[in-house]
Structure 1
Amino acid sequence: MRLAFMGTPDFAVPSLAELIASGHEIVAVYSQPPRPKGRGQKLTPSPVHAFAEAMGLPVFTPESMKAPEAIETFKSLDLDAACVVAYGQILKAEVLDAPRLGCFNLHGSLLPRWRGAAPIQRAIMAGDRQTGAQIMRMSEGLDEGAIILSELMDIYADDTAASLGDRMAHVGAALWPRALAAIERGGFTETQQAGEPTYAKKITSAEARIDWTRPAAEVDAHIRGLSPFPGAWFEVEADGEPVRIKALMSALAEGQGTPGQVLDDALTIACGTGAVRLTRVQRPGKAAQPADEMLRGFPVPAGTVLDGSRRVEKAEPSERGPQG
């Protein structure tokens, strides 16, 4: 098939690699424009952009796919279909209708649960036990299109957004050849989404602050769902000044105390009920490291009360069943 691929982050690279390996003709790759990165703020292409160039594929990086010139260029490609994975731009009807067979998107949840920007993070934060990778036909509504193909996935007790996202990127990539073959021959049934939708809105820095008054299971899920980015965080006082520390990995632990109270010298923290032990952390300007390594040079002794116990917005509670 004659395809365009539209994607930006690392999550999308396995899908592009799978489409290339499957023998499809990738006539154009669309990605977000290069952005300043690092201390020198050098313009850096996205992971998809860099991979596509390494594969010798033409790359387009319009600031907006709503611009008339971008739409006309896309129409002129004479596509059979477009495959979209975390592109990061809204596509108008003119774009969605341009390919002969339509535009299709890989989404990281079991729709209509977790429509929106952060489905992987929200599923972990909500304590969901299952999620999935789905390829759907794109429509102008937010992740409202009919489902073409799905793959269920378990969420493990030690999953972070990074580990689940990496697994899902490869599971989802493997769906593309099957989905496109079915689309090309018309041998599939489009399944309309059913049930009440939930929304995976973008994570904010303020929301990432840990609320120690919540139960330990919710705090643990909050930490893992935001790891490694943007990173759940708390503050501890050092030399009279608050120091913001990211918690990147945790585990449920025994103990009770005032929410936010450090219960031992191994960074076990009391929550509203129960406790969590922080196992991987990151200080400002430092690399992420195991908590015991940080504590050797930056002790947080038992009895310390962390300044991170104010109430923050909760993710929607999990439900048992195929979507949670």
Structure 2
Amino acid sequence: MRIVMMGTGPFAVPTLEALIASDHEVVCLFTQPLRPTRGKRPAPPTPMRDVAQQHGLPIYDPESINTDEAREILRQQAADLLVVCDYGQILSRESLAEAKLGGINLHGSILPKYRGAAPVNWAIYNGDPETGITVIHMTPKLDGGPCLKVVRTPIGPTETAVELEPRLALLGVPAVLESIAMLEASDGETLVGEPQDPSLVSKAPRLKKTDADIDWTKSAQQIYNQFRAFQPWPGCYTHWSREGKPPLRLILAEISLEPEPAAAEPGTIISATGDQLRIAAEGGQIVVQKLQPAGKKIMEAAEFIRGYQPAAGERFVAESLL
């Protein structure tokens, strides 16, 4: 089968590598354009481009896949199937029609739950005990096509998005290959896969910087889930309310959950001794091992305690309350 791969992020890399190693013919890669960086920041990694270049695949990066020019390039590939994963663009009906069998999409959730750009993050944030991957036969409606394959997996109690996402990417490889085989064996008339139940749809919107702001009125478990979900970006931050000084913004770089409740208002520093900074939250405590004051480097809690001398009874507050 002649396949056009469409992907940008690292979640798509195992699928591309598996397709190249398969009996199918991957004819090219469509990916997002390279974006300029500000100042002296290094260019972000482009793992999909790297894999394509290593294997001599042509690379196309239109600003929009749905322009006449981009569709003409796609038409020239004479593809049987589009395989889409972590691409970052939504294909129109006309673009999907440029391949004989349309497209399949590998999505990082159990659809129809968590349609959208950040399914892995929101599953962890909401405390879901399990997640998975879904391969759908694509329609112009976002993540709305029939499900060809679903694979489920538990989410570990301390697993972060950084750890979960590559696990899901690997789970998706055999599911993609099996889905392609299902379409190859179809008669072209009968619906392949299971339709999604629209009553079960939930959204996984793109992450924003403000998602990192910690609301200390939430439970300790919810705060810990937020930290796990938003690694490496946007992370988690709070503000230290200091007597006689302006609040200090702190990025929490490493934390753990202590289920023992503390007799203090949420957000209150319980103790700041040794190598741990303990913060009260509903139903438990947040223990900070590493943090980063605004404008400074990441430091161990012990170093922060020695240098800044936080005191028990002082408060951490959400930016929205300042």
TM-score with structure 2 setting the length = 0.88
Q: CA deviation at 1:271?
A: 1.5
1:257 aligns with 264
Counterpart in the other structure of 1:272: 282
Give 1:160 shift: 0.9
The CA RMSD over aligned residues, in Å, is: 2.4
- 2:202 corresponds to 1:192: no
Which residue type is aligned with residue 274 of structure 1?
G
**Matches of 1:130 and 1:267, distance apart in 2:** 31
Structure 1 counterpart of 2:220, from 201, 216, 222: 216
- Counterpart check, 1:72 vs 2:76: no
- Which 5+ residue runs of structure 1 have no aligned equivalent? 312-324
Query: Map of 1:224-303 to 2, 5 A cutoff?
Result: 224-236=228-240, 240-253=245-258, 254=260, 255-265=262-272, 266-284=276-294, 291-292=301-302, 294-295=304-305, 297=307, 299-303=309-313
Partner of 1:317: none
Q: TM-score, normalised by structure 1?
A: 0.87
Q: Would you say 1:49 and 2:49 are equivalent positions?
A: yes
Distance across 2 between alignment mates of 1:22 and 1:244 = 50
Matched to 1:240, the amino acid is K
Match of 1:3 in 2: 3
Q: How far, CA to CA, are the matches of 1:167 and 1:227 in structure 2? A: 15
| CA positional deviation for 1:306 | 1.2
Measured against aligned partners, the alpha-carbon deviations of 1:240-259 in whole angstroms (never above 9, x if no partner) come to 34443322443321223122
CA contact (8 A) 1:18 1:176 kept: no
Judge conservation of contact 2:66–2:94 (CA < 8 Å) in 1: no
| Deviation larger for 248-257 or 80-89 | 248-257
2:215 and 2:317 in contact (8 A); partners too: no
| Distance in 2 separating the partners of 1:141 and 1:161 | 26
Q: Distance in 2 between matches of 1:290 and 1:168?
A: 31
Q: Secondary structure at the match of 1:12?
A: helix
Percent of residue pairs identical? 34
Spell out, residue by residue over 1:297-322, the C-alpha distance to the aligned partner (whole angstroms, 9 max, x if none).
555443331132758xxxxxxxxxxx
Q: Is the contact made by 1:260 and 1:309 (CA closer than 8 Å) also made in structure 2?
A: no
Instruction: Report the counterpart of residue 319 of structure 1 in structure 2.
Output: none
Q: After superposition, where does 1:1-324 map in structure 2 within 5 Å?
A: 1-37=1-37, 39-40=39-40, 46-186=46-186, 189-194=192-197, 195-236=199-240, 240-253=245-258, 254=260, 255-265=262-272, 266-284=276-294, 291-292=301-302, 294-295=304-305, 297=307, 299-308=309-318, 310=320
Q: State the secondary structure of the residue aligned to 2:239.
A: strand
For the residues of structure 2 that align with 1:293 and 1:20, how far apart are their CA atoms?
49
CA distance in 2, matches of 1:156, 1:107: 20
> Higher mean Cα deviation, 265-274 or 33-42?
33-42
Q: Which entry has the higher C-alpha Rg, 1 or 2?
A: 2
Give aligned pairs, total: 311
Q: Which amino acid is the alignment partner of residue 164 of structure 1?
A: L
CA distance in 2, matches of 1:120, 1:243: 31
Q: Residue 39 of structure 1: CA displacement?
A: 4.4
Distance between the aligned counterparts of 1:43 and 1:223, measured in 2?
26
Give secondary structure in 2 for the equivalent of 1:214.
Answer: coil
- Relative to structure 1, is the Cα distance of residues 106 and 288 closer, same or farther in structure 2, using a 3 angstrom cutoff? farther
Separation in 2 of the partners of 1:283 and 1:17? 41
Structure 1 residue 178: Cα displacement: 1.8
Distance 2:146 2:293 in 1: 44
